[in-house]
């Protein structure tokens, strides 16, 4: 009996020990699963193929039900979760689930997010019906999807001037060339101060990378200079030879990381707002408007007007207009706001190029009506995207970077056209270097979605000649520079939309519907940003001086920086004779016809009636 009792005690203890070990094992396994669920997604969520087109007018069907912009992509269902990605057919419905994701380094904390099922919506329906773009309207976009902080806990501080700089090239990291790819014949040396100096085949300096200042100085083929520096506090300063540029500061909102860029113009500082999105191994900064218009205004801007209307821009008296006369001709009439905005974008870009002392034109490949029609299609896509963002913002949603960034345009299986808004030096398919300048047009073909791609190939559609890439050239553009191209389109469309709203119903333009005048919706993300950096102009000037010093220390002589160019003289209908003479000086000849006078200048002819400008040719 004693032996039996002893055996029972031993078996009981063994059973208890076994049970405890089993319980501990289960707890450890559950903990491992929990940690695995909290890992960041290996792939960013796919955006919807196309943003829905805005409705034409209240209760009226949209005129385009199958147009390029707004027609939902014929994509099946895509389901993405942590781990494997399953795709069936092509993408009209996207479902994405993510476990807890890490918030912005600045805001900290973990957020649990789930993407709602979204489907592309055809244009039409009553104004105010939310269009579905990327994430369902009203569902916050997940800026942390696929994103991760940079080393040291600071997110997104990759130099846009050397996008993809870790890839290829014979010069060190390809600094200064878009896509980080150096052209044939380029060489790289290390200066006595440790700076990396990249030179072109002709021995001229292309760029200097100063590690001490964390600064990149790039000299463009067209004589431009671009300075980019990241400071110790992770703010960034970018400035060109003419003193134009911005100071960028990061901030957090709703667990996401954003950027506020302070610019200085007309005696005041102002902000523009950007996301900070990790995509293809780098951070891109998609532009977000500071406010949104009413759905009726987007519908009026997107859809055709009742009939085409003529419009006089009044550019005839501006030097830039005559200078680029062989390159750009405005439309005689405008069938919709998209075409009006197309001419606005091109004109704004060319004015900036002119102020930057553009090189003489030669072998021009002009901005033809066919090319401008492609730009107008892209304008409509961007209007549809902003309309979808506006409906989300009205419901308190955060912008979805997968939908608003270049991720969409690289994955929607459609060609896209851009008007360049900054000078770039690129390398073409033959390995030769050429320049892209403000106002050039380039086209992105679909299908460039390799997961490790840091650049995309674009075809030049319109070029101002000289050292610029010729028409038809296939060039490599870094993804960060491509994002800047999209940003330039959206920013300039935003400016044009403001001007168009002020001019609607005047000068031959049709009046906008009553609902278009509803109050704008401010972006909560933008409202949370720090105020504009009022010291921005002094900071830009300081970095110019630092760049000069960096070049001297590297053994290179910085080129003299010309004083900022005076804004081009503008001659418009209604100005007096005195105002014209003050702007242009005395004419070459005068024709006096009594109440009507004609002043003849080298590049224009101005007609006065009763002492005021009545026509400019």
Q: What is the DSSP string of 422-466?
A: S-EEEEETTS-EEEE-TT-EEEEPS----TT--EEEEEEEEB-BT
* SS3 state of residue 169: coil
pLDDT tens-place string over residues 298-326 = 999 999 999 999 999 999 888 899 999 99
pLDDT tens-place string over residues 425-467 = 999 999 999 999 999 999 999 988 788 899 999 999 999 998 9
Please give the angle made by the CA atoms of 579, 580 and 583, to the nearest 5 degrees.
90
pLDDT at 127 over 50: no
pLDDT at 327 over 90: yes
Strand ranges for 223-360 from DSSP E: 225-230, 236-240, 245-253, 256-265, 268-275, 277-279, 282-284, 287-288, 291-292, 304-310, 333-336
pLDDT at 55: 67
pLDDT at 143 over 60: no
Kindly state the average pLDDT of the residues 139-148. Answer: 31
CB burial string 383-410: b at 16+ within 10 A, e below: bbbbbbbbbbbbeebbbbbbbbbbbbbb
pLDDT at 272: 97
* Phi-psi category of residue 140: left, alpha or beta, with phi > 0 → left and psi -120 to 50 → alpha: beta
- Confidence category of residue 56, pLDDT binned at 50, 70, 90: low
CB 517 within 8 A of CB 286: no
Kindly state the average pLDDT of the residues 148-171. Answer: 33
pLDDT tens-place string over residues 26-52 = 444 344 443 333 333 334 445 554 566
pLDDT at 315: 93
pTM higher than the cut 0.85 = no
Q: Which of 355, 381, 349, 384 is nearest to 367 (CA)?
A: 349
Question: Per the structure block, which two tokens stand in for 309?
Answer: 């209307």
Look-up of token digits 């890490």 = 102
pLDDT at 124: 33
pLDDT tens-place string over residues 554-584 = 988 765 554 444 455 667 777 888 778 777 7
Q: How many angstroms separate the CA atoms of 407 and 409, rounded? A: 6
pLDDT tens-place string over residues 583-607 = 777 887 888 888 888 888 766 788 8
Strand pairing report for 287-288 and 441-444: unpaired
Look-up of token digits 């649990």 = 112
CB 230 within 8 A of CB 236: yes
pLDDT at 171 over 70: no
CB 410 within 8 A of CB 449: yes
CA 293 to chain CA centroid, nearest Å: 20
240: β partners: 226
* SS3 state of residue 95: strand
Q: How many angstroms separate the CA atoms of 187 and 206, rounded? A: 10
CB 312 within 8 A of CB 330: no
CB 50 within 8 A of CB 385: no
Measured N-to-C along each axis, helices 337-355 and 295-302 cross at an angle, to the nearest 10 degrees, of 90
Please give the helix or strand (H or E) that residue 119 lies within, else none. strand 118-119
């Amino acid at each position: 009996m004693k032996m039996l009792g002893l055996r029972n005690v031993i078996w009981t203890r063994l059973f208890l020990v076994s049970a405890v070990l089993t319980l501990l094992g289960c707890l450890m396994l559950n903990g491992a699963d929990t940690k695995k669920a909290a890992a960041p997604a290996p792939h960013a969520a796919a955006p919807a193929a196309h943003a829905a087109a805005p409705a034409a007018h209240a209760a009226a069907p949209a005129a385009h039900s199958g147009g390029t912009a707004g027609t939902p992509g014929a994509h099946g269902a895509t389901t993405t979760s942590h781990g494997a990605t399953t795709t069936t057919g092509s993408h009209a419905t996207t479902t994405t689930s993510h476990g807890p994701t890490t918030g912005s380094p600045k805001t900290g904390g973990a957020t649990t997010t789930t993407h709602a099922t979204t489907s592309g919506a055809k244009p039409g329906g009553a104004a105010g019906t939310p269009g579905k773009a990327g994430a369902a309207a009203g569902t916050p976009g997940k800026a942390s999807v696929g994103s991760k902080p940079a080393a040291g806990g600071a997110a997104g501080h990759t130099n846009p001037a050397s996008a993809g700089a870790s890839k290829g090239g014979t010069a060190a990291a390809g600094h200064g060339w878009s896509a980080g790819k150096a052209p044939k014949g380029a060489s790289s040396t290390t200066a006595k101060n440790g700076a990396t100096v990249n030179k072109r085949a002709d021995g001229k300096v292309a760029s200097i990378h100063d590690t001490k200042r964390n600064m990149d100085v790039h000299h463009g083929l067209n004589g431009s200079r671009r300075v980019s520096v990241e400071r110790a506090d992770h703010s960034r300063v970018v400035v060109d030879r003419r003193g134009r540029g911005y100071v960028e500061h990061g901030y957090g909102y709703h667990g996401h990381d954003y950027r506020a860029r302070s610019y200085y113009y007309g005696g005041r500082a102002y902000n523009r707002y950007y996301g900070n999105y990790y995509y293809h191994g780098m951070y891109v900064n998609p532009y977000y408007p500071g406010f949104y218009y009413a759905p009726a205004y987007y519908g009026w801007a997107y859809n055709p007007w009742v009939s085409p209307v003529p419009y006089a821009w009044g550019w005839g008296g501006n030097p830039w207009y005559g200078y680029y006369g062989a390159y750009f001709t405005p439309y005689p009439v405008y069938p919709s706001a998209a075409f009006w905005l197309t001419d606005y974008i091109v004109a704004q870009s060319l004015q900036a190029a002119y102020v930057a002392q553009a090189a003489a034109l030669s072998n021009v490949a002009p901005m033809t009506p066919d090319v401008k029609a492609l730009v107008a299609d892209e304008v409509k896509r961007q209007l549809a995207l902003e309309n979808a963002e506006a409906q989300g913002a009205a419901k308190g949603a955060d912008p979805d970077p997968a939908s608003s960034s270049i991720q969409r345009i690289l994955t929607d299986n459609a060609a896209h056209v851009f008007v360049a808004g900054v000078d770039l030096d690129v390398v073409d398919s033959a390995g030769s270097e050429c320049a892209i300048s403000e106002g050039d047009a380039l086209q992105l073909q679909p299908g460039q979605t390799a997961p490790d791609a840091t650049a995309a190939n674009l075809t030049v559609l319109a070029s101002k000649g000289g050292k610029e890439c010729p028409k038809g050239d296939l060039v490599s553009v870094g993804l960060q520079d491509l994002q800047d191209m999209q940003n330039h389109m959206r920013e300039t469309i935003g400016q044009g939309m403001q001007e168009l709203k002020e001019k609607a119903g005047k000068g031959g333009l049709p009046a906008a519907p009553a609902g278009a005048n509803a109050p704008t919706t401010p972006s909560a993300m933008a409202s949370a940003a720090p105020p504009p950096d009022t010291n921005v102009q002094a900071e830009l000037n300081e970095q110019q001086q630092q760049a000069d010093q960096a070049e001297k220390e590297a053994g290179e002589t910085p080129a003299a920086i010309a004083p900022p160019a005076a804004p081009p003289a503008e001659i418009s209908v209604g100005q007096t004779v005195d105002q014209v003479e003050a702007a242009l000086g005395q004419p070459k000849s005068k024709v006096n016809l009594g109440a009507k006078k004609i002043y003849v200048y080298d590049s224009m002819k101005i007609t006065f009636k009763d002492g005021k400008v009545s026509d400019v040719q």
